[in-house]
Amino acid sequence: MRHQALVRVAVDRPLDQLFDYACPVGPLPEPGQRVRVTFGRSEQTAVVMETGQPPAVDRARIRPLERILDPGPILSGPILELLRFASRYYHHPIGETVLNALPPALRKGAPLPSPAAAEPQWRLRPAQAHPRLGPRQRAIVQGLETSGTALALHALADLTGLALRRAELKRLADLRVVEAVAHEPAAPPSASPPVALTPDQRQAVTAIEAELGTPAALLLDGVTGSGKTEVYLEAAATAIARGLQVLVLVPEIALTPQLVRRVSQRFPGQVAALHSGLPAGERLRVWDAARRGARALLLGTRSALFTPLPALGLLIVDEEHDPAYKQQDGLRYHARDLAIMRGHIESVPVVLGSATPTLESLAKARDGHYRHLPLGTRPDGSLPPPVRCVDTRVHRTDEGLTTPLLDAMRTTLAGGRQCFVLLNRRGFARVLACEHCGWVADCPHCDARLTVHAAAHRSICHLCGFTQPLAEHCPECGQLLSRQGLGTQRLERALSRHFAGVPLVRLDRDSIRRRGELERCLEAIRQMDAGIVVGTQMLAKGHDFPRVGLVGVIDVDQGLFSVDLRAAEQTLQLVQQAAGRAGRSGDPGIVLVQTGHPEHPLMQALQRGDYASMVAPLLAERRAAGMPPFGFLALVRVDGPSAESSARQAEEIARQLRRHARGVRVLGPAPAPRHRVNRRYREQILLASPTRKALHQTLAVARDGWQQHPPPRNLRVS
């Protein structure tokens, strides 16, 4: 009897195995194609991973495929190889790893969009006298004039920096200013006014171009304002001219509209932006256009790394130090590290760019694993601003503001310059407490205090989102409650009191909830409609504002003494990135950092101004302790509905790990720094080893054990 052909598929379930299914009569699906299968009592979308393998179970138990969803593979061979590696390296179930690399619509079984059904593109009608247009309409017309080609709505939005609606284009069409067309071929890269590259920039571009077609890793290490973006654009233009595609990863697209606009202007009609903020249908169309090679440059956040690109020739990771590249749930991967692996798999150079590289990247550059491309000067010849510490033990603070900082702000504003004030804590106050009996407003679901949001008159947990009306009196003793600690909202109020009449903008997650609000805020800053800008780390996200004369950093001390391994490193990076907003366009600037510990080695290093010397003591500490990048760590976390059940399971897993540990230290279990989050209790076990291989072997053997004898269903192990 002739047996039906079998395929082995990945299913979106927390099971670390592939499953055999029998194929119906007809063409055998290939690896990378989606199929529908019956799994348990429901139908699921699955991805074919292997064909022609002997069955892993008795053939009588193998079910048939329900149907084949795609005419051919939608995940390429290199992407499947990358996903297999990610599953092994991060010890995460293969099915969850593969299915979550697809856009949400494809995971649910939606068909691929038809290229013929793509959304319309818009172009200017032949030259004629345009009617009187509003500011947004003029921006649309100018964008289409700049591009010289027809653009889809999302591409036009990226080019103009506006949150556009289709109704606005239809209105312009009614006025006979624009017209819709089905499709036009992309224009060649824009012949924008050439930028005179500095010798360092030209050397970096030449080095990147020489590596096209090879699996090289290059660290573009440039001071803030040194022109890393222009290096990216020049190298991308060379790759595109050779018929190759370019993938540019950014930490958060919403916070980098300037970069999106510059890339869109340089390559009009050829750029696709892919991120979670897009509607599901639009996200699928963008992903599919890139997969088919219809877009030469894909600009996206970390998940865009898994997009198949048939002619990938260059991969760029901008701001490689940013923590946003680390996925914190599900597959807990680091996009920077997987980008290096994708470059190796597809023989593509990977450029890591940052003014404040991570210690891991710096160590690899110094060891010769990465090619180091320094950009030591700004194109305009200006110098990074000096950093001075203001001792808060000597200078009393008024709602977080010291007299030296206020005086420096007055001088800066009098000179027609802008002041940026950074406080990396949103809300009005950190704590709502009673000074009479000691009661504190805690989150009922987490080990966290509720943050006061005075404008919304709410108390909010920033971990789980729990919210309740803002109380005025203590529920225990009835006394008036005190709002303690600083947030950006309180700082905004204090600055408005000290600088009455000076236009002020607050930039944090609470102030830009509405679509297009960030673009409006950034444009107001750029046009000098705001003399003072107060905000969180969003201020330090690579924005280029030419008239910033002063950056004030309100509180960095929490990062100096944190238990987090990377807290000191990330504090340095944040201050350096924020400092880089000042002193551009040839105008000198200054940075004032308020601290209660000006004698701390990191504060002393900040004042010296050389990032390499700042991180030298951190590297020495890491080497002595065997911590990354000189050793390897893994964290196993257990979370459950009760502290007792989580602790019991963590103890059992720790015993299994110790039983199989060879050259690995197993530390714990211990409660996580945030023990209770959203009503679940978290225990963690830390594994440390001088070699990566020993760490993987210990984890793999122990993980087999807890998968064969899985924990109760209400407990999660990651």
The CATH number covering residue 703 comes to: 3.30.70.600
Q: What is the mean pLDDT of residues 181-205?
A: 71
pLDDT of residue 566: 87
Within-domain flag for 437? no
Check residue 274 and give its pLDDT. 86
Q: Give the type of residue at 291.
A: R
Q: Are residues 46 and 123 in the same domain?
A: no
pLDDT at residue 588 is higher than 90? no
Q: Is 80 exceeded by the pLDDT of residue 518?
A: no
Given this model, what pLDDT does residue 191 score? 45
CB 451 within 8 A of CB 461: yes
User: Are 408 and 351 in the same domain?
Assistant: no
Here the tokens at position 629 are 């990048």
Whether 288 has a pLDDT exceeding 80, the answer reads: yes
Assigned token pair, 536: 């969180």
Percent of the chain scoring above 70 in pLDDT: 94
Is residue 615 domain-shared with residue 644, that is, in the same domain?
A: no
Please state, in angstroms and rounded to a whole number, the distance separating the CA atoms of residues 224 and 539: 13
Least confident of 175-179, 283-287, 338-342, 633-637: 175-179
- The model's pLDDT over 682-708, given as tens digits with 9 standing for 90+, comes to 999 999 999 999 999 999 988 888 878
Predicted confidence (pLDDT) per residue in 74-92, tens digit: 999 999 999 999 999 999 9
Summarize the confidence of residues 558-586 as an average pLDDT: 81
pLDDT in tens, 658-683: 998 989 999 999 999 899 999 999 99
Percent residues over pLDDT 90 in the chain: 56
User: Using CA atoms, how far apart are residues 496 and 498, in angstroms rounded to an integer?
Assistant: 6
Beta bridge partners of 68: 35
Task: For residue 646, give both structure tokens.
Answer: 């989580």
Which has more pLDDT, 263 or 561?
A: 263
In a domain, 449, yes or no: no
Contacts of 400 (CB under 8 A, 6+ apart): 423, 486, 490, 491, 494, 554, 555, 594
Ramachandran angles phi, psi of 123, nearest 5°: -140, 160
Residue 380 pLDDT > 60, yes or no? yes
Q: Same structural domain for residues 539 and 590?
A: yes
Query: Is 684 part of any domain?
Result: yes
- Output 202-210 pairs: Cβ under 8 A, ≥24 positions apart: 203/373, 204/231, 204/373, 204/375, 205/231, 205/234, 205/235, 205/238, 207/371, 207/373, 208/235, 208/314, 208/349, 208/351, 208/373, 209/235, 209/238
Residue 319 has pLDDT above 50, yes or no: yes
DSSP letter for each residue of 7-23: EEEEESSS-SS-EEEEP
Tell me the CATH number at 316: 3.40.50.300
Shared domain check, 224 and 353: yes
Note whether 132 and 251 are same-domain residues.
Answer: no
pLDDT at 127 over 70: no
Q: What is the pLDDT of residue 130?
A: 64
Say if residue 352 is in the same domain as residue 495: no
| Whether residue 546 sits in one domain with residue 493 | yes
**How many structural domains does the chain have?**
5
Identify the band that residue 1 occupies on the pLDDT scale cut at 50, 70 and 90: very low
Is 101:306 a contact under the CB 8 Å cutoff? Answer: yes
Residue 98 has pLDDT above 80, yes or no: yes
Round to whole Å and give the CA distance between 547 and 544: 9
Three-state secondary structure call for residue 550: strand
Task: Say if residue 206 is in the same domain as residue 148.
Answer: no
- Rounded to an integer, the average pLDDT of 386-410 is 93
Q: Are 239 and 327 members of one domain?
A: yes
Residue 187 lies in a domain: no
Residue 144 sits in a domain whose CATH number is: 1.10.10.10
With 50 as the cut, is the pLDDT of residue 511 above it? yes
- At 296-313, the pLDDT tens digits run 999 999 999 999 999 999
In-domain check, residue 480: no
- Does one domain contain both 494 and 615? yes
For residue 410, count other CB atoms closer than 10 A to its CB: 14
Q: What is the pLDDT of residue 27?
A: 83
What is the model's pLDDT at position 537?
A: 84
713 vs 86 pLDDT, higher one:
86
The helix (H) or strand (E) run that includes residue 460 is strand 458-460
What integer pLDDT is reported at residue 335 of this predicted model? 97
Task: Provide mean pLDDT across the span 102-130.
Answer: 80
Q: Which domain holds residue 405?
A: 387-427+486-624
Q: Judge if 343 and 490 occupy the same domain.
A: no
Q: What is the mean pLDDT of the chain?
A: 88
Can you count the helices (H) and strands (E) in the chain?
20, 32
Q: Please check whether residue 455 lies inside any domain of the structure.
A: no
40-54, 246-260, 456-470, 671-685: lowest mean pLDDT where? 246-260
The CA distance from 363 to 367, in Å, is 6
The CATH number linked to 19 is: 3.40.1440.60
Mean pLDDT of 500-519: 80
What is the largest distance, in Å, between two alpha-carbon atoms of the chain?
91
* Listed residues 587, 603, 624: the one ending a domain: 624
Q: Report the pLDDT averaged over residues 655-660.
A: 91
The answer to whether position 189 is within a domain reads: no
The residue-averaged pLDDT of 602-615 equals 82
Q: Which has the higher per-residue pLDDT, 58 or 599? A: 599
Q: What is d(CA 692, CA 420) in angstroms, rounded to the nearest whole number?
A: 43
Q: Which of 181, 208, 235 is the last residue of a domain?
A: 181
Report which of 686, 690, 683, 687 is spatially closest to residue 711, judged by C-alpha positions.
Answer: 683
β-strands 665-677, 151-152 pairing: unpaired
Residue 40 vs residues 11, 13, 63: alpha-carbon distances, Å: 11, 11, 11
More confident residue, 165 or 536: 536
Strand 217-222 and strand 245-249: the pairing is unpaired
Residue 154 has pLDDT above 80, yes or no: no
Tell me which range, 250-264, 399-413, 592-606, 693-707, is most confidently predicted by mean pLDDT: 399-413
CB 551 within 8 A of CB 534: no
Last residue of a domain, one of 624, 656, 673: 624
pLDDT at 559: 78
pLDDT at 370 over 90: yes
Question: Mean pLDDT throughout 47-64?
Answer: 85
Is 148's pLDDT higher than 80?
Answer: no
C-alpha 534/C-alpha 331 separation (Å) is: 35
Query: Is the distance from CB of 352 to CB of 218 less than 8 angstroms?
Result: yes
pLDDT of 241 strictly over 90: yes
Nearest Cα residue to 378 out of 184, 219, 556, 224: 224
Residue 275 has pLDDT above 50, yes or no: yes
Tell me what pLDDT residue 117 has: 59
Classify residue 442: in a domain, yes or no: no
Residue 549 main-chain phi, psi, to 5 deg: -105, -20
